[in-house]
Amino acid sequence: MKKYGFVRVGSIVNKLALADPNSNAKEIVRMIKEAEKKDVAIVSTPELALTGYTCGDLFFQDKLLAEAKEGLKVILDETSKLNIISIIGMPIKLDNQLFNCAVVLSKGKILGIVPKTFIPNYAEFYEKRWFASSLNLLSNEVNLLDQTVPISPKLLFKDKDLKDICFGIEICEDLWSVNPPSCYHTQNGATIIFNLSSSNEIIGKNEYRNNLVSFTSAKTISAYVYCSSGIMESTSDILFSGASMIYENGSLLKKNDRFQIESELIYSDVDVLKLANDRLRNSSFMTNVLVNDYKIIDVEVKDSTKFDRIYKEYPFVPSSKIYRDERCKEIFTIQSAALARRLIQLNYPKCIIGISGGLDSTLAFLVVVEAFKKLNLDLKNIIGVTMPGFGTTGRTYNNACKFVNEYKATLKEVSIKEASILHMQDIGLPLDDRSITYENIQARERTQVLMDIANMENGLVIGTGDLSELALGWCTYNGDHMSMYSVNSSIPKTLVKYLVNYVADNSDKTKKEIIYDILETPISPELLPPDEAGNILQQTESSIGPYVLHDFFLYHFLRYGASPKKIYFLAQETFKGKFDNSTLKKWLKVFVKRFFTQQFKRNCVPDGVKVGTISLSPRGDLRMPSDANYAIWLEEVEELD
């Protein structure tokens, strides 16, 4: 998995025996062995897991501190033959002070010790009574169990093979501070942060803590592994829940069930290459780097053979219906507000839009309607133009007409058949020709009709093409590729359907019936004649492949810079049982070829608002040469099994 950037990290909340390091060591060993069986590469315990966080003045007892060392020796000996890195919370005495530390172990060696920096001493916390801050350290090494070990808050642990696997550590309150150590760790190379914590429970704290971890993970563009003490800590005054969670760039990957008595292990595969790519894109990430005197410790992070990560088939579409509806509302609002702003600038012109009875033009029309409502404009000034051609079916034609009329907009019908035939004759194209020229003649004729009507009506042609079509170049250059404002230009095909469905669900009965039938209509440009029964014969996905795959490829290729090998691997895992390997490879090859060769179309797209994380506008997210050589990407696809 390392070749794809994945490393399996975990969190152990051990069932605690308070002030009994020997018992705790045995339980931690048991859980580390379980983690190793699960192929976890790096695992952490909570803060002061060897002794317990709530020992109070027992931390002044030499016996407890000595037993903690013995407990650490047990863990070292018992895990010396395991291929796993463990991070153990325990107290360390040094420089006439006691430090609350994270001790990093691997194969019988102590790799480094990270002491806590921010020591809480407010509300229910009295930690300064026992522990000193890392800022009080005089030494940079300590002898522990006959090993000379670096000790510092500025330690980073970096894999010898894949340098992007690099982890740093902060402890509990460090996270809650104004300038947490993780900010500095990540700017200096850490892609993974482990937090050994003892966070008690009061009403509302769990949600706040989750948000804090999520925000820190997003702010630092890192994977964040949080592990807190469980309910077997003392309950004299407070209760600990064992909250444990793993976030990646703000997104939750795993969390445990709190308030468990027995030990718990959670783990997930985090993608460090994805995080590293995000940092490259974010030009603000390395601004004002204040600390660069870190000590880098080389480690051997094992390469997991298993994969425990679920990716969405529809990365542009939220899985939850409630969240999906909220997202659709937000997107629809952004689209319509952007168009409304353009209409204000142009002194409220009419809007001209080609209506095909398909999904894209339906969504664009609905956006125009919403913009007009926002501006209190007469919907009669929306001119929906249906332009029957050689491939138009009765189903799409009737839906287009009914749809425009139902919204009380102005319907115009302009057949393009005669004009297309005349043009074919003019250029000497046989009337029985069914080449791309035959198709593009119709597409460009339709665009000319819309542009000319816009001139007549002093109007604005609204584009209907979507993000997926732009990515694949599935549009006619200077045909449906062109408009005066493109409202769907950053909406992928797989999301268009959900947006249209969202509007339909919130419409009256008649509109619902029309829109629902449009939703069930096969995706087609309708440029080739229908079959003998009058049904759509030309289906887009038969020609260029399933949009569910192309949108998946596009998302991982552009959003995270994933290589073809990695995209193929993720697709194999995600679409297991739905598409075989040869099918995935076939359409990935099509994606690579079309994405590179069709850039010239994207270099001159009309204005259109960015809605999601990906835009193909040369004025926005994508600045790419039209003549780039795509051989190295295609070669990698050809090599796939």
Question: Per residue in 113-153, pLDDT tens?
Answer: 999 999 999 988 999 999 999 999 999 999 999 999 999 99
Confidence band (pLDDT; 50, 70, 90) for 525? confident
Q: Where are the domains of the chain?
A: 2-299, 321-638
pLDDT of residue 254: 97
Closest CA to 115 of 104, 129, 123: 104
Active-site option among 55, 172, 227, 328 = 172
How many other β-carbons are positioned within 10 Å of the β-carbon of residue 600? Answer: 12
326 is catalytic: no
Are domains 2-299 and 321-638 of this chain identical in fold? no
Is the pLDDT reported for residue 526 higher than 90? no
Superfamily of domain 2-299: Carbon-nitrogen hydrolase (3.60.110.10)
Kindly state the average pLDDT of the residues 418-433: 96
Q: Using pLDDT thresholds of 50, 70 and 90, give the confidence band for residue 217.
A: very high
* Whole-structure pTM value: 0.92
- The helix (H) or strand (E) run that includes residue 329 is helix 321-345
Would you place residue 488 in the very low, low, confident or very high pLDDT band (cuts 50, 70, 90)? very high
Averaged pLDDT for residues 565-582: 97
Confidence of residue 535 (pLDDT cuts 50, 70, 90): confident
Q: Is the pLDDT of residue 290 over 80?
A: no
The mean of the pLDDT values for the chain is 95
Q: Which of 15, 90, 16 is nearest to 48 (CA)?
A: 90
User: What tokens appear for 499 in the block?
Assistant: 């947006």
The answer to whether residue 172 is catalytic is: yes
Q: What is the reported pLDDT for 236?
A: 94
Active-site residue, from 2, 116, 274, 585? 116
Query: CB 376: neighbour CB atoms within 10 A?
Result: 7
Which tens digit of pLDDT belongs to each residue from 85-123?
999 999 999 999 999 999 999 999 999 999 999 999 998
- Domain spanning 321-638, CATH class: alpha beta
**Of the listed 36, 47, 248, 469, which one is catalytic?**
47
Distance CA(381)–CA(368), nearest Å, equals 10
Q: Which residues of 314-342 are buried (b: 16+ CB within 10 A; e: fewer)?
A: bbbbbeeeeebbebbeebbebbbebbbeb
How many CA atoms lie less than 13 Å away from 430 in the CB half-sphere? 4
CB 421 within 8 A of CB 431: yes
21 neighbors 29 (Cβ within 8 angstroms): no
